[in-house]
Amino acid sequence: MLAETLEEIAIKHSDLLIRNAIRGNEKAFSQLMNLWYKRIYNFCFKYFGNHDMAMETTQKTFISVHKAIGKLNEPESFKSWIYQIASNKCREEDRKNKRRSWLSIFQRQEENDTKVMQLEHHTDDGFYNPDRVIEEKEMENIVMNCLHQIPEEQRVIVIMKEYEGLKFREIAVSLSITESTAKSRLYYGLKAMKKQLELRNIYKENAYGN
């Protein structure tokens, strides 16, 4: 979608905002937060599979970012730095909330998200296709449940690489591990995901589109 493309471009060219935020410019930090909020929320949501926990963890992430951004020495490392904070906050919340229900993974979406979804699922003749929406949501539900069956250290890397598009170098910095470790955990994570999907008679390429 065009809006997402423009957002990605803005994120990639946010160096000036980052530098100004480091200097204490609150307006720049607010703009930076607006740019990154959706991505960090999505990361947290995929980690927990729960809207409320994702919202709470996202808020705590940005509180920590606001407190510590003045100490960030290299603006170009902002991306890996913010994911490091987000993953740490996820782990903290995970320890506090051991009783979780994955039945609520796909809660009701906001009205704007519903409108976007409807636009994305029109048929070639221009009509909304509810059956297609249901099928895709069911597949997404299955994939998310499989994702939460694999070890946390693998799950967080699968989310970072497959969903968030981070490079192995950025993942390594975010999690304080080597790139080879990140690659290894991704390999075993995807292998475990494939096994989970095969148990449900669904092939990995169908779920991921690879």
Give 176's DSSP letter. T
Res 80: pLDDT: 93
Positions of the chain with pLDDT lower than 50, given as ranges? 1-3, 99-112, 115-116, 118-120, 122-124, 126, 128, 204-210
Asked, for residue 102, whether it belongs to a domain, the answer is no
Per-residue confidence (pLDDT) for residue 95, from 0 to 100 = 79
81 lies in the same domain as 168: no
User: Residue 126: which region, alpha, beta or left (left: phi > 0; alpha: psi -120 to 50)?
Assistant: left
User: How many domains would you assign to the chain?
Assistant: 2
- Digit-coded pLDDT (tens) for 151-176: 999 999 999 998 898 999 999 999 99
**Using CA of residue 167, residue 170, residue 175, residue 176, what is the dihedral sign?**
positive
Angle between helices 26-48 and 2-12 (to 10 degrees): 120
Question: Is residue 103 a part of any domain in this protein?
Answer: no
What pLDDT sits at residue 130?
56
CB–CB of 102/145 below 8 Å?
yes
For residue 62, list its beta bridge partners. Answer: none
Cα–Cα distances (Å) from 113 to 26, 67, 100, 118, 135, in that order, read: 29, 31, 25, 9, 17
Confirm whether 104 is domain-assigned.
no
**How many alpha carbons fall within 13 Å on the CB side of residue 27?**
1
Note whether residue 37 is domain-resident: yes
Could you report the per-residue pLDDT of 4-40, keeping only the tens digit for each?
A: 555 566 666 688 899 999 999 999 999 999 999 999 9
Nearest to 155 by CA among 82, 91, 209, 79: 91
Q: Where a domain ends, among 43, 67, 95?
A: 95
Tokens representing 78?
Answer: 């902002």
Q: Name the domain boundary from 40, 60, 95.
A: 95
Domain enclosing residue 19, as ranges:
1-95
Dig out the tokens for 116 from the structure. Answer: 């976007």
Q: How far apart are CA 8 and CA 4, in angstroms?
A: 6
What pLDDT shows up at residue 112?
Answer: 46
